[in-house]
Structure 1
Amino acid sequence: MKNFTVEVGPEQPNGGRIRRSVLSPEGLCRIPHKNVHTLYDVLQHSSKKYGDRKAFGYRSTEKMVEEEKEVTKFINGVETKEKKVWKYFQLSSYKYLSYNEVARQAHEIGAGFSYLGLKEKAKVEIFSPTNMHWLLTAHSLFTQNMTIVTAYETLGEDGLLHSMNETEVEAIFTTAELLPTVAKVADKCPSLKLIVYSGDAKDEALQKVRSGKV
């Protein structure tokens, strides 16, 4: 049986000897691999090592089904019935991007951010569910030595605006579904210059964004 740890140093007063990974018995690991020193290196190393093997798996939304249901609630001790719309997603089978494809797309998206005027060390907020687009955006920013700022999609307007102003973001990446929330606060963030989104946005949200300063 292969050992994953080794004993190092003297016996401890209240226990045995310290156990460390066989990969780094002399001290704690500072890097995950000899060729990986930055977040940018993570994807580049993976691309070189795994090439055309599957990296990201995703499913597209083919159809959204809405179903109205009656829900019972108790408000101040009084039983109340109200109708609520439940949404269900019909998804495609899994599709995949290889490590090489992810690396190529990350560089292309990163070049797009640079072309649109963002400079090295610019802060970009990612206000999106954690999915393939989230990861591609993050890795694209690493290619340009830019900093990502993350915000939970459940934050709401006040929380989102606070995170944007606190970190002085110059750009934000979001989804078509969350764009209306961004549109409501964009003008209140003086540092914001650019809004990028994925998906098909509604005209109302786009008009709100375009009528502002961004």
Structure 2
Amino acid sequence: MSPRPESVIFIDKQLVWMTCGVEVGYQILLAPRTSGIVWLDVIEQAFPHFEIGGQQLRAAEVTYEGGRAMAVAFFDPSHCDSSSRPIKHFMLWLDVEPMVFDKAAMVSVPELLQQLAPAFSVILDASRYISEPDICRQAWEKQSERSLRLAFSGKNMPVKNAGSKPSTAKSNLPMDALSSDDEEALVFPKKFMMMAIVMVVLAIIAALFEVFGLA
């Protein structure tokens, strides 16, 4: 079924898209060029700690400076990163028609990603040595189609561990475990925080020994 006219999104003005590639980490791939808004903060407002929490697409309405947006997040149905974790997609659809807010959870993910395939191919195949600005520039240049037509089929494909390595344990984990582990790419790892605390405690103990002549 063809989408209604209200389901057209203009990429230059209404789409913010954060995702990652096989080798490169998460970054804002497409966003309005003239805006000074920190889109990363708006996305995290909708999805704290950038968690999706399951296989199904999640949708949430958020407000930002200048308007409101529909935020959607979902796992890629076909691609994984170099650690065999399903790639996440986070999108903001800015100031869309009311019908889109009502039906966002039923958007067809395969059709959506098919339209964005040119831009996605840039980050998907990018080397870790390519800078984020270069990836964004190449994605803009390759995405010749400047509008998205949203189809609301409600038949999103389940997440597949496509391309996962059979020899790795992660490829056999349930999706909840994968999504929890995947946050290492987006938030400060807890183990480094614990190491920092231990180092501070040891420094305090050493100082006390020196002050009281216990060494």
TM category, shorter: under 0.3
Higher relative contact order (CA 8 A, sep 6+): 2
| Alignment TM-score, normalising by the size of structure 2 | 0.21
| Alignment TM-score, normalising by the size of structure 1 | 0.21
Would you tell me which structure has more strand in proportion to its own residues? 1
Structure with larger Rg: 1
Would you tell me which structure has more helix in proportion to its own residues? 2
